[in-house]
Amino acid sequence: MKDSGIADAAAELVASAEAPQLPWWMKVTRWRPTSKEEAVHAERGILNLLRSKWQVEDVPVGPGPEQYMHTLTNSSSSGNEPVKGPAMVLMPGYGAGSGFFFRNLDGLARVFNLFAVDWLGTGLSGRPPFTAQDRPATEDFFLESLNTWRKEQGLDSFILVGHSLGGYLAASYALRHPEQVQHLVLVGPAGIPTKPEGWESRFATDSWSLRSQLFKLAAHAWGSGITPFSLIRALGPWGPGLVGKYVTGRFSMHGMPLEPAESSTFRDYFYHIAAARGSGEYALRHILAPGAWAHAPLQERLAELKVPVTFIYGEHDWMQPAAGQALADKLDQIRPRKVASDHRVEIVSDSGHFVFLEQPQAFNAALLRSMESYLPHGLAAEAAAQEEQVLRVKQEQLVQQLRQRQQERQAGEQQKEQQQQQPASDRG
């Protein structure tokens, strides 16, 4: 059991919005404009966007000073409504943090005993040296620390939701510890299909070409452990600008664009967790080959899965929704469905790989309906309907904003035409 005094203090810490006071010499001399204090402050900014209250805790998962997993928790003790459903654990994808779920937390916290957790070596979790040299040791790094976290939280079992590479790891955890996972939810999971034979031949040809050289360079960087976050760190003071451009462009492609306050706060948070010391990010090459093909594809491994599984994809997810559907069809052939949503594949329209960020209400509704078997009768449908009502209101507001911008643009063009048609003497 957690100490209530610690929990209350953590809640008060989250509520504080004061910027960290860094020594002047650190601000002047450092190459990367980031620090743990600034990352924590950026997360507070994310949490201040929410209606619900959250406890923040670094849960120890080992003896070393960097062996802890950063955790956001909702509960009745933090001032929320009493929890009605089971425990649900949200695990982010590669290079992400629990703050990536900020648009989903309010809706899901009304129903579940909700945890959003950073994998060891990522986000705001501890950053121990990453020493694994193969896939089994890499999976041990993540899965055993998550199991220790579970014990520290006193959870016998929970619904496990993993996104992208976090989905691959969540599936691996369910294979290793099936008795602890009530239901597995894979959101745009990495590593499902097997690599097509001769896939590299499209790029690595004998003849010289720019395409083949770029592929060889990228493959070498991948195998050497160079990551996108290495570039962000190397850019130093230009790193925040690169992250800002990525966030602005990437999260305006589909669905419900980030609002100005959300965008600026999220950019700050994303930069600070991306620019932190490298650790868990170096696991990528041991799990996936260039092209994001898994060394041990889930298509082959999940035939042994003993727990119910649901897949959720964005309509335009580059992680191939068809691969999830093919796996679900395969599971239908080899085992009976344990609950109604077992082997279900949910496709959320007008969204990509970050479906929960791009279409938060539609994602929440799909997730809630998939968890109907674990909730009191009618609660899933009621909560999903509330999410969909919020979505309709936001869509109407977005349409109105677009119409207003179009009208303003047309009015500006008409005014410009009228000015051009006036005689020069009148304009003077």
Confidence bin at 151 (pLDDT 50/70/90): very high
Q: What is the mean pLDDT of residues 194-208?
A: 72
- Look at strands 309-314 and 158-163 and give their pairing: unpaired
Q: What's the pTM value of the predicted model, to 2 decimals?
A: 0.87
306 vs 175: CA distance, rounded Å: 7
The answer for residues whose C-beta is within 8 angstroms of residue 44's C-beta and 6 or more apart is 13, 14, 16, 17
Cβ contact 161:154 at 8 Å: no
3-state secondary structure 127-169: CCCCCCCCHHHHHHHHHHHHHHHHHHHCCCCEEEEEECHHHHH
Confidence bin at 9 (pLDDT 50/70/90): very low
H/E element, 348 = strand 344-348
Higher pLDDT among residues 260 and 409, named by residue: 260
Residue 124 has pLDDT above 60, yes or no: yes
Active site residues: 164, 317, 353
Q: What is the mean pLDDT of residues 98-105?
A: 98
Question: In the chain, what are the domain boundaries?
Answer: 4-194+207-381
Query: 10 Å Cβ neighbour count for 101?
Result: 23
Cβ contact 87:28 at 8 Å: no
pLDDT tens per residue across span 280-336 = 999 999 999 988 899 999 999 999 999 999 999 999 999 999 999 999 999 999 999
CATH number of 4-194+207-381: 3.40.50.1820
- Look at strands 68-73 and 113-117 and give their pairing: antiparallel
